[in-house]
A and B are shown apart, each in its own frame.
Chain A
Amino acid sequence: MAGAIVVIFLIIVAVLAPVLTKWFGHPIDEYHIDQIDPTFSTPIGKFGGISREFLFGVEPTSGRDVFSRILYGAQTSLSVAFLSALLSTFLGTIFGLAAGFLGGWVDAVISRVMDFLLAFPQLLFAIALVSVLPDSFLFFGDRWSRVFVLVGVIGFFGWPYIGRIVRGQTLSLREREFVEASRSMGARSGRILFKELLPNLAAPILVYATLIIPTNILTEAALSFLGVGIPPPNPSWGGMLSDAVTFYSIDPMYMIIPGGMIFITVLAFNLFGDGLRDALDPKAR
């Protein structure tokens, strides 16, 4: 329950980032050099320069508003996490259903592909892939193009987790009496798949989709930390953490804030997912 409240709060904050920034913050790329001690590159004010004007303090060396950057970072983190969870759920459900229902060589091929992807060093591959894909395509700016690239990469490597669960559930469901019954009444495969099996799979799929989101947030943060995330000056939590490494001993607040945000978000999604599982899928306890 607490998880759900935090999750909803975070989503609202991310959506309203432009408005909240206008009211309580400064534009994300506005420099405030006067807030920085030139000799040490750190904020002049105490606790990372936290003040009424800069709610979360300012970034070392540039004096950019950490509050605004955290809000816009939430947009990035949450949209990457949600969209890639959506992509892996979609792929996982389709392939899991097909493998479990059709069996035979289809099952063998899909299962081996899943094993292959699960054994793959995905973070290394993601780094390589992100750096060779184009910076901007179609009518999207470089920020959202990169978001979609990250979604594609993270979502693609995430589907086997859901795929395996869906396959396992399908295998046990397809032998159940109600499936037998509808098959003996002459129902076609399509009807059995979508009318009989899928509704029974909805609960585990929803639960596991929720539980991939925190993993995706961490993966996105890791990629940004390693410098292949969202291009500057657009903020992301992982990127802020990576900048903070240089300053952790002299301006710890700059590391605590994005680190704390990642911690809270991941914890909230995990609690939310667990709660959802308890409510929808009591057997899985």
Chain B
Amino acid sequence: MASKKRVMAAAGVAITLGLTTAACGGGSDSDDKGGNSGGAAGYNAAITGVVNPSTTKGGTLNLWSSQDADSWDPVRGYYAFVWNLNRLYTRKLVDYSAAPGKDGLKLTPDLAAAEPEVSADKLTYTFKLRDGIKFDDGSPITSKDIKYGIERVWASDVLSGGPVYLPGILDPDKTYKGPYKDTDPNKLGLKSVTTPDDKTISFKLTKPSGDFLYLLAMPGSGPVPQKRDTGAQYGKKPASSGPYMFKDIQPGKSASWVRNPNWDPATDPIRKALPDAINLTITTNADDLDSRLLAGTADLDVGQVGVQAAARTKLLSDPNLKKNADNPVSGFLRYAGITPVAPLDNIECRKAVIYAADPTALQAAFGGPLAAGDIGTSMLPENIAGSDANYDPFNRKQGKPQVDKAKEALTACGKPNGFDLTITARNNRAQEVKAAEALQASLKAVGINAKIDQYDGAQQASITGSPDNVKKKGYGIIMAAWAADYPTGSGYMQPLSDSRFIPANGNYNLPEIKDPAIDELFDKANVEPDPTKAAEYYKQINTKIMEGAYYLPVVSAKALNYRNPRLTNVYIHDTFGQVDFQALGVNDGK
């Protein structure tokens, strides 16, 4: 996801903190072949349970990727796999539990000894740190290191690329300019975070927020020792607070980790730290990576976005390979945003577009039901509370375009003979362009003539993210994809549908939805302490978005990934939609 800046809305505490350890087994509601009660390998076995549970230490984990990390600096990385890998070397006050299934969405105290003390007005959070926590150089991790690490989020001018959520809650007026422009001699000038002693850190929020703890679980909220901070260069050699520390980083080529001798397993309820060393090799050839996976010379593709078409065929037609594959939901939703460019400002014309779109052709463009995922029906992905897989207001699941209904809608819109519009797709995403072509072909059947405009995906924020530019260029439909930075309904949907989230640049509320009812529901959900009740609000928001026909949901993305049979403790972590890298081990000691 490109960088998302956001202003936080009012909220209450809605997060259950509970100590959870990686548990074997899991849900039994799986409809997959080769059941997984005993932790054995099997197709999709890592989705519901732990494959090859083990506590055997030793060996080297050989990870591969077809893409380099955006940055190893915890504040600057934004790729999902980089956040996941950060769990190896960046601990936070709280982090996601190491468990398969829904348990992985829960937060566990990590550097913090226990859940925070929250004041009655829900504005002050106080954490006590654990004893015995140390950086890789042996120096103790103090509350000041955590505060300094968090202050670096403010320095987005020097440390670009990562999410900038915390200032919205702790310092919405941005009075603090970041540690590099800090006049305080200790560079700890951020007023809303206080460190009364080395073991205590306290946060003073400007407004209640149910999302606050999720923001503390982001890698950018991890500790950074001030004397080792090299500013924009810090990603070349980040300090480690976790069980592994960097041995070597070769940009574009590789990264490797070895054990951090100063990490004490007794202080860490989350990480297993089984292998002695971890190597990540970066290749530009995705097909070569797939062959290495299937041949067993690579352990795992950390990108976790699925194998290429050629490997997909091999993998699915050989039962011995298939049992080492998983097809999890990645948490990404691919959709088309319908903008208010005339005549799409009329709800009936938007409905015509949604009814005319061929759900199966769009799904096929992204790779079919296994590689692309299930046909999208609404705007809340299934890993987020409040989503309902059976909610299908436009009857898309049946898989055929509904030409009659589309024509009815066109007549109601006053354009019975159709109209012209422009679809945009990012030119660096081949599948997105193919999907735009599929949409173009199905719209033609009802008389809507679409032109495809391909643009440089790196310029997204200023091209499709600028409402002025969208209006000027007349972009009617914008192909896009979105995943939540943290697993709540507001974390996912608020940037897409709240009228207060329409910046002049980097806008993701593509349809420019300005519905006071939706805004009000977000406000209610954010102060609702009970997650089940909050989920009910998210469900209503989802319904309102769909009733307004603002988005055409395309697919709820899945990825077909392969895991080396020698890997132990493999399970899909629901927060990332990926294998939990920190839990992995190898069973042959190599």
Which residues of A does B touch, CB under 8 Å? 29-31, 33, 36-42, 60-62, 135, 142, 227, 231-233, 243, 246-250
Residue numbers in B under 8 Å from A233 (CB-CB):
437, 440-441, 452
Q: How far is the CB of B66 from chain A (nearest CB, A)?
A: 14
Q: How far is the CB of A61 from chain B (nearest CB, A)?
A: 5
**B187 in contact (CB, < 8 A):** no
A40, B440: Cβ atoms closer than 8 Å: no
Asked if A61 meets B454 with Cβ closer than 8 Å, knowing A29-B444, A30-B441, A36-B364, the reply is no
If A29-B437, A33-B358 are given as contacts, then 19 extra A-B residue pairs at C-beta distance below 8 Å, sorted by A number, are: A29-B440, A31-B361, A31-B438, A31-B442, A33-B360, A38-B364, A38-B369, A39-B369, A39-B370, A41-B312, A42-B309, A61-B365, A61-B434, A227-B427, A232-B433, A232-B452, A233-B452, A247-B309, A249-B310
Q: How far is the CB of A230 from chain B (nearest CB, A)?
A: 12
For the complex of A and B, list the 6 residue pairs with the smallest distance between their C-beta atoms, beginning with the closest: A38-B368, A249-B310, A29-B441, A250-B313, A232-B437, A31-B361
A186 to B1, CA, bound (A): 76
Q: Name the residue of chain B whose CB is nearest to the CB of A37.
A: B368
Residue numbers in B under 8 Å from A38 (CB-CB):
360, 363-364, 368-369
B441, A247: Cβ atoms closer than 8 Å: no
The one of B358, B367, B427, B451 in contact with A61, judged by C-beta atoms closer than 8 angstroms, is B367
Asked if A41 meets B433 with Cβ closer than 8 Å, knowing A29-B441, A231-B454, the reply is no
A39 to B313, CA, bound (A): 8
A231, B368: Cβ atoms closer than 8 Å: no
Asked if A61 meets B364 with Cβ closer than 8 Å, knowing A40-B316, A246-B309, the reply is yes
Q: How far is the CB of B1 from chain A (nearest CB, A)?
A: 23
Q: How many residues of B contact A (CB 8 A)?
A: 32
A232, B444: Cβ atoms closer than 8 Å: no
B312, A31: Cβ atoms closer than 8 Å: no
Asked if A39 meets B452 with Cβ closer than 8 Å, knowing A31-B358, A246-B309, the reply is no
Q: How far is the CB of B448 from chain A (nearest CB, A)?
A: 13
Which residues of B does A touch, CB under 8 Å? 308-310, 312-313, 316, 358, 360-361, 363-365, 367-371, 427, 430, 433-434, 436-438, 440-442, 444, 451-454
Q: How far is the CB of A29 from chain B (nearest CB, A)?
A: 5
Q: How far is the CB of B32 from chain A (nearest CB, A)?
A: 15
B438, A62: Cβ atoms closer than 8 Å: yes
A9 to B395, CA, bound (A): 49
Q: Name the residue of chain A whose CB is nearest to the CB of B400.
A: A33
A227 to B425, CA, bound (A): 13
Residue numbers in B under 8 Å from A243 (CB-CB):
430
A81 to B365, CA, bound (A): 31
Chief secondary structure at chain A's binding surface:
loop
Asked if A41 meets B371 with Cβ closer than 8 Å, knowing A29-B437, A31-B358, A62-B365, the reply is yes
Residue numbers in B under 8 Å from A60 (CB-CB):
309
A-B contact pairs, 25 of them (CB 8 A): A29-B437, A29-B440, A30-B441, A31-B358, A31-B361, A31-B438, A36-B364, A37-B368, A38-B363, A39-B370, A40-B368, A41-B309, A41-B312, A41-B364, A42-B309, A61-B365, A142-B451, A231-B452, A233-B452, A246-B309, A246-B310, A247-B309, A249-B310, A250-B310, A250-B313
Residue numbers in A under 8 Å from B427 (CB-CB):
227
Residue numbers in A under 8 Å from B361 (CB-CB):
31, 33, 62
A246 to B307, CA, bound (A): 11
A87 to B363, CA, bound (A): 44
Q: How far is the CB of B181 from chain A (nearest CB, A)?
A: 38
Q: Name the residue of chain A whose CB is nearest to the CB of B433.
A: A232
Q: Name the residue of chain A whose CB is nearest to the CB of B425.
A: A232
Residue numbers in A under 8 Å from B369 (CB-CB):
38-39
A37 to B370, CA, bound (A): 11
A42 to B317, CA, bound (A): 14
Residue numbers in B under 8 Å from A61 (CB-CB):
364-365, 367-368, 434
Residue numbers in B under 8 Å from A232 (CB-CB):
433, 436-437, 440, 452
A270 to B75, CA, bound (A): 58
Residue numbers in A under 8 Å from B442 (CB-CB):
31
Asked if A62 meets B313 with Cβ closer than 8 Å, knowing A33-B360, A39-B369, A246-B308, the reply is no
Residue numbers in A under 8 Å from B313 (CB-CB):
40, 42, 250
Residue numbers in A under 8 Å from B451 (CB-CB):
142
B441, A41: Cβ atoms closer than 8 Å: no
Q: How far is the CB of B143 from chain A (nearest CB, A)?
A: 51
Q: Name the residue of chain A whose CB is nearest to the CB of B440.
A: A233
Q: Name the residue of chain B whose CB is nearest to the CB of A142.
A: B451
B367, A41: Cβ atoms closer than 8 Å: yes
Residue numbers in A under 8 Å from B453 (CB-CB):
135
B316, A39: Cβ atoms closer than 8 Å: yes
A250 to B307, CA, bound (A): 14
A62, B437: Cβ atoms closer than 8 Å: yes
Residue numbers in B under 8 Å from A30 (CB-CB):
441
Q: Name the residue of chain A whose CB is nearest to the CB of B316.
A: A39
A243 to B436, CA, bound (A): 15
A37 to B369, CA, bound (A): 10
Residue numbers in B under 8 Å from A31 (CB-CB):
358, 361, 438, 441-442
A246 to B365, CA, bound (A): 13
